[in-house]
Structure 1
């Protein structure tokens, strides 16, 4: 079971960042976090994967502070792996690709394929229930700390990241808004398909939820 969880998580990670790279190189605007990381990479120094890892590391402690919990140190291992995968697609596989002068239909096709791939990748790597990425956990932490809805929390964080990305010269465009609006439904679409392919993960998630509701030894600190 552990091997299959690692395999599905790794596959999801690879597909997710493959999609991220497609969206970035489509030149139509990328996700709000990628806009910040790519902007820092292009206009400050170092790689987008480095900035991704650094912000993830910082958010481990920010989230813990907001939620009054211990830092989720288990997230450090996937954090490092994801940083390398991020740079693998951006710097190695797609390094040097320039779609700025490509026909719009090619850019749109690349963007659309990337959006679908991101949704599939995220839907895959959340199935094994490994620790959430700190940037994803930030939505929950802000919601809990300030007692606001998840939708409002996500909007606040997304707007802040997109604004920061714009200020550092990141690839913010109309595609950024499209991803913000459509990524959730795309992830939900893939998730509904995948629970039939990997029913054991879905059953385990239900069992864990029932355990938490029953008030077992799991505490908010251990399940975040």
Structure 2
């Protein structure tokens, strides 16, 4: 069910913002767990180790480069959702990393629990923000541009992107560990479950908000008549 209506920009943006925040929390938990991060975050952390700034800053900078490449390939200007995704995730990552209780657990069991929570939160955050239907992020924009240009399927294109990014991040000293492999294997199946669940909840939320707006409009009309 598609609820992309002009009167629902506010509710959809709230869902979008919530999804980006939740996904950023998942990213931070995976980084702090110190058992291996996502390929893109391996790159961001590696750049942070080598050149300074912050992890969130590198997420934004890399996002700008990716959007530029995607625009050149597709010959289309990026949608606003891609810019929001890029900037907000970078800001959220840095803010969450500043929280004093965001510390790497001392025990392996604690790290594993944080790691598992990070994967689940990351996937459901992705599902929430995608369900708002306000546009793909920089990485997804590049993936779409490459699939359109090459005619390849999404799977091989995304896999090639992830491998190249992972190798560069690894060479820069990013956190590659056995958890990185698990992330690569687990995110697809978990996201496959999370996305339709999140879409169902978001559709129900948007439908409820739409009905609420209609009721309010009718009540205001009745008051005006009386």
**TM beyond 0.5:** yes
Residues of 1 paired with 2:101 and 2:32: CA distance? 9
Give yes or no for contact 2:132–2:202 (8 Å, CA) kept in 1: no
Q: Please report the TM-score for the alignment, with normalisation by the length of structure 1.
A: 0.82
Instruction: Provide, for residues 99-133 of structure 1, a one-character-per-residue CA deviation record: whole Å limited to 9, x for no partner.
Output: 4xx22211111100000000110000001111211
- Alpha-carbon separation, structure 2, partners of 1:30 and 1:60: 22
Question: How many residues get paired?
Answer: 200
User: What SS is found at the alignment partner of 2:131?
Assistant: coil
The alignment's C-alpha RMSD in Å is 2.0
Q: What is the CA deviation profile of residues 10-54 of structure 1, one whole-angstrom value per residue up to 9, with x for unaligned ones?
A: 111111111111111111100000000011112221001111101
For structure 2, the 5+ residue unaligned runs are: 1-7, 208-226
For 1:194 and 1:74, how far apart are their aligned partners in 2?
Answer: 18
Query: Any unmatched runs of 5+ in structure 1?
Result: 204-224
- Alpha-carbon distance change, 94 to 161 in structure 1, aligned in 2, over 3 angstroms: farther
SS at match of 1:198: helix
Over 3 Å counting, the alpha-carbon distance change for 1:118 and 1:107 in structure 2 is same
1:28–1:74 CA distance, 2 compared to 1 (3 A): closer
Q: Aligned residue for 1:222? A: none
CA contact (8 A) 2:70 2:142 kept: yes
2:99 corresponding residue in structure 1: 93
> Structure 1 pair 133/44, CA: closer, same or farther in 2 (3 Å)?
same
User: Judging changes above 3 Å, is the alpha-carbon distance between structure 1 residues 153 and 26 closer, same or farther for their aligned structure 2 residues?
Assistant: same
Q: Give, in angstroms, the shift of residue 190 of structure 1.
A: 1.5
Q: TM-score, normalised by structure 2?
A: 0.82
Matched, 1:174 2:142: no
Compared with structure 1, are the counterparts of its residues 64 and 112 closer, same or farther at alpha carbon in structure 2 (3 Å cutoff)? same
Q: Does 1:24 align with 2:24?
A: no
Query: Highest CA radius of gyration, 1 or 2?
Result: 2
Instruction: Report the alpha carbon displacement of residue 71 of structure 1 after superposing the two structures with TM.
Output: 3.8
* Structure 2 CA distance for partners of 1:139 and 1:94, relative to 1, 3 Å: farther
Distance across 1 between alignment mates of 2:10 and 2:206: 16
Contact kept, 8 Å, 2:11 with 2:206, in 1: the verdict is no
Partner of 1:129: 133
Deviates further, 104-113 or 130-139: 130-139
**1:54 has 2:61 as partner:** yes
Residues in 1 aligned to 2:167 and 2:198: alpha-carbon distance in whole angstroms: 34
Equivalent of 2:190 in 164, 176, 186: 186
C-alpha distance in structure 2 between counterparts of 1:95 and 1:140, whole Å: 38
Partner of 2:214: none
1:115 is matched with 119
Please state how far the C-alpha of 1:69 moved relative to its aligned partner.
2.3
